[in-house]
Amino acid sequence: MAVQINPSILSADFSRLADEAKAVEGADWLHVDVMDNHFVPNLTLGVPVVEALGKATDTPMDCHLMIEDPDRWAPAYVEAGAGSVTFHVEAAAAPVRLAREIRAKGARAAMALKPATPIEPYEDLLPELDMLLVMTVEPGFGGQAFLDIMLPKIRRTRELISRHGLEMWLQVDGGVSASTIERCAEAGADVFVAGSAVYGAEDPDKAVRELRALAENAAGTTGLCGHQAAGR
């Protein structure tokens, strides 16, 4: 389970997106938050900006769609150059069909859960997905406080992934910083989105390196899965 750090450009300077993308060369993916002011009470960017950003950077894009009707819109983000597309299960009409379509178009398919959405009803869908995103804030805004109450869900999700023998990644997003990333790694997350903790830092690339070191240490001290070390 390799640690990956995905800076969220939501906290970057939108007037200099290409430069901001280059400021985090050590990042694994650029996390691009798409919001439609319906699924969440905020509006950000859409397909044309993703397409332009993709041409401006070599770092692959991880598009997090916080939008209604992802069944209709998600495939366009693959065509725009996203290497991974995440839809919210609360918004998808047909998550299996959608995940298959994303994969068929050549991107990794991921599904996100808001804080109040449990993982258990979706256990049978896991083989259709390349990544599961457990939100650790209510989606919509950067800079919110990490929700500790999500740690048990991260643990349970990692257990389900292990039980099914799947290779899939487990991403956390929201309030991930130097003071919370270790708890997430210990619980079993391996892909970490960080917005304000990266772009709010004086040296964003250094912040990426520091977050990675903390997560690798935390994952290392507890073995592959934190829940095993916790004796569960």
Interface with ligand DX5, residue 194, by CB under 6 A:
yes
Q: Does 193 help bind ligand DX5 (rule: CB under 6 A)?
A: yes
| Interaction pattern, residues 129-148, with ligand DX5; x per rule: CB under 6 A | --------x-xxxxxx----
Contact (CB, 8 A) for 170 and 6: no
Structure tokens at 186: 């210990």
Note whether 212 binds Zn ion by CB under 5 A: no
In angstroms, the CA 74 to CA 151 distance is 28
Strand order of the β-sheet with 169-173 is 4-7, 191-194, 169-173, 131-135, 108-113, 84-88, 61-66, 30-35
| Residue 50 interaction partner, one of ligand DX5, Zn ion, none, beta carbon < 5-8 Å per kind | none
- Selected binder of ligand DX5 within 3, 5, 10, 131 (CB under 6 A): 10
Residue 195 as a binder of ligand DX5 (CB under 6 A): the answer is yes
Q: How far is the CB of 34 from ligand DX5 (least distance, A)?
A: 9
Catalytic residue among 36, 130, 173, 190: 173
Q: Give 173 or 225: the residue with its C-beta nearer to Zn ion.
A: 173
Q: Which of 29, 40, 64, 194 binds Zn ion (CB under 5 A)?
A: 64
Residue 55 vs residues 153, 176, 191: alpha-carbon distances, Å: 36, 28, 24
- Nearest 5°: phi and psi at 225? -130, 125
- Residues acting as catalytic residues: 33, 173
